[in-house]
Amino acid sequence: MVKVSDILRERVYPYSYQEIDSLARAVGWEALLEGDTQITLFAPNDFVLNKLKTTNEFDMLRHITLLNQLVQFHIVPVRLTVEDMRAEARAEGTSTLQLQVESGRLLTVEVGAQILIGGVAIVEPDMLADNGVVHGLDGILVPPGMSLDEFEKPAESQSATIYSPDEFDRFWPNGTFQAE
């Protein structure tokens, strides 16, 4: 049985998709990628996602909430091949479809000679899995109101208090916390 996660981890030519697999796992979507629920994943290729990393592989993880929103915007909770999208457009008599993504937001699909997902071209269509289909993209789908520039900003700082050993003993006598 081939799962969506297998395609993402094993595909290497002409594009690879390990980055979107890692990012989806980092925000807790591995059960969906490996489960039995039918999904469509619009997967940016590794080359595209690596452009977002400014200094190291963990840059995007600094913004976990934004990353979760970004990943969700690439997942449609139903299996849709390219032919399915073309057939739906023909049935509706339109060249534009609206797909509801995992977060509930709408994603625009333009059906023509080439299919554009949110303005981004599918470069590797219809990678079929038992639990859905993966379409490789040559770009990143950005939810309305989000900018990829937000990933380049420093993450919100977290503050911590550092106690000297004497102060530590004042709050933790005998290893038990005592509030003042």
pLDDT in tens, 60-79: 777 889 999 999 999 999 99
User: What is the distance between the alpha carbons of residues 151 and 43, in angstroms, rounded to a whole number?
Assistant: 18
pTM higher than 0.95 for the full model? Answer: no
Domain regions of the chain by residue span: 4-175
The stretch 131-158 carries a mean pLDDT of 85
CA dihedral sign, ordered 87, 93, 96, 97? negative
Angle between helices 18-26 and 64-72 (to 10 degrees): 120
Mean pLDDT of the chain: 87
pLDDT of the residue at 159: 45
Q: What pLDDT was estimated at residue 54?
A: 62
Q: Is the pLDDT of residue 157 over 60?
A: no
pLDDT of the residue at 171: 56
Tokens representing 91?
């049935």
Residue 10: per-residue pLDDT:
95
Asked whether the beta carbons of 85 and 177 are under 8 A apart, the reply is no
For residue 148, report the phi and psi dihedrals to the nearest 5 degrees.
-65, -20
Pick one of 2.70.98.90, 3.90.1150.10, 2.30.180.10, 1.10.357.10 as the CATH number of 4-175: 2.30.180.10
